Chain A
């Protein structure tokens, strides 16, 4: 990764990396190590002193039914967000790659939501599903469905998932479309000559050939659902009703900034860090495989 031809050694490279490294040290590595250190401490009731307790905070989390529930909820939430947004994107990309002229026209119309901030996406969906005024509850009423996500935990979860998946469809669509367009035409034509119709070609040729993209998108979507949906949850439900939409990231924020449980919040941060590291490792191992592929 170093150039064969490079400049002679001098103090200059240190000056060049200095800004990046300074910011990394001050705002990334130092706070992360602080979080790790704090996760081993318990503050006394008056916030005057703290005691080193090894893994007691983690043990407390492990024994805390609320935390275990939040873990399970996050898993369900992110799987559903990934499945929904990837499914819709795959379907749309499958149709869009069949269009000879106008594929770019549809692409232009489908990539908007990427530019919408998560918290704005939440605001749009909470407006559409407002129990008294919203358009969807008005129509759902005809089907006898009484929509109120402020009271019904499952409806709140469904709304958050819809908003999160809506925002991510654009991203998945772009990657699926690019993957499908890079499949050699000869393969598709050969299948057509053998008598495979559009549906058969999609499931037997296209889908297996783009499976690396599917795997890559699965990881990216899980990371998105884990960490970037904070704004959506904060705008739509604030983790409620009860704690039916409190996912891990929201719980770290809530316990740390609202509940002021520093040790517990720090321990949760450390667990989240481990999760991010695991996902990044998976993502990078995949990228290595993609190069061969």
Chain B
């Protein structure tokens, strides 16, 4: 702060608190809804303060029948599916991007720039603009209703490749020279020098990609018809539809809470890595 103005300081904090309340309100209301029983959630006005039914709701959602009237998978299985999908997407993206960035930065080979531009193109083809043909490809490969089908079509990544390319370009040339004098081959150099050097970047990218993977919606919606492959994020939509018949908002909001907690936890607990990953991948 440049000058001392108590009044402006108070106004600043007041406005920030207002902002925090406005931003946190939807999440707070979800939490509150998850702590009341079904009967309370049908009385207008709805509560704004937590009740005492959080454990009961959690137990019913996770291990019980869940939402009555829908024959979906149990919620713990959905959570597992989401976790598997998020891990496969984020680790897959990091793995293949590290390898291709390594090839493009450290080797001269014919069609090197062709490879680079082909990877670049993926930036311009989000799932949303090519849903039907991509669905057909996955169906023809027999990958519907499988973890492979959920993750592999999403793991090509131009942004991750570019990021690792930037990181590798900042590694001093002397590293490679000395490694070669010591007799290290390309893969030895990759595993023993490049990987340890880009550890933080990998972690930062993982945070972003985990959230990206966990929050996938359109793609799982298209390729999973088997209820045992449902992800937790997808299930919310089905519950909203069921809610039109029997509004059990306490269960729906408990599920929503369960779906939000893992990515929010990742963001808050690894905030520094998260911010680093966000600003690096968009350069």
Contact = CB atoms under 8 A, between A and B. Distances in A.
B13 A99 contact: yes
Interface stretch (B40-48, B50-58, B65-73, B197-205): B40-48
Interface string B116-141: 00110111111011111110111000
B12 A31 contact: no
Contacts of A17: 99-100, 103-104, 115
A76 interface: no
A219 B107 CA distance: 34
B29 A112 contact: no
Interface in B195-240: 211, 214-218, 222, 233-234, 236-237, 240
Interface in B161-179: 161, 165, 168-169, 173, 176-177
Interface stretch (A32-40, A42-50, A55-63): A32-40
Contacts of A253: 128, 131, 218
B278 interface: yes
A231 B97 contact: no
A136 to B, nearest CB: 10
Nearest to A12: B186
Given A34-B133, A115-B263, A124-B27, A235 B240 contact: yes
B237 A119 contact: yes
A91 B15 contact: yes
B118 A112 contact: no
Interface string A1-41: 11111110110111011011101111111111011001000
A26 B99 contact: no
B3 interface: yes
Interface centre among B24, B124, B274 (most CB of A within 10 A): B124
A282 interface: no
Interface centre among A114, A123, A257, A272 (most CB of B within 10 A): A123
Contacts of B138: 27
Report whether over half of chain A's contact residues are helix, strand or loop; otherwise say mixed: helix
A112 B108 contact: no
Contacts of A135: 29, 45-46, 48
Interface string B33-45: 1000000011011
A23 B217 contact: no
A201 to B, nearest CB: 8
A145 interface: no
Contact of A110 (B19, B157, B176): B19
B153 interface: yes
A99 to B, nearest CB: 6
A164 B216 CA distance: 16
Interface of B: 1-3, 5, 8-9, 12-13, 15-16, 19-20, 23-27, 29-30, 33, 41-42, 44-46, 48, 95-97, 99-100, 102-109, 112, 115, 118-119, 121-126, 128-134, 136-138, 152-153, 155-157, 161, 165, 168-169, 173, 176-177, 186-187, 211, 214-218, 222, 233-234, 236-237, 240, 247, 249, 252-253, 256, 259-260, 263-264, 266-268, 271, 274-275, 278-279, 282-283
Given A192-B2, A249-B128, 17 more contacts: A1-B104, A6-B108, A13-B107, A16-B102, A23-B155, A24-B156, A26-B137, A29-B125, A88-B19, A98-B9, A111-B267, A120-B236, A120-B260, A127-B30, A216-B282, A227-B128, A230-B218
Interface of A: 1-7, 9-10, 12-14, 16-17, 19-21, 23-32, 34-35, 38, 88, 91-92, 95-96, 98-100, 106-121, 123-128, 132-135, 138, 166, 169-171, 174-175, 178, 185, 188-189, 192, 198, 201, 216, 220, 227, 230-231, 234-235, 249, 252-253, 256-257, 262, 265-266, 269, 272-273, 276-277, 280, 287
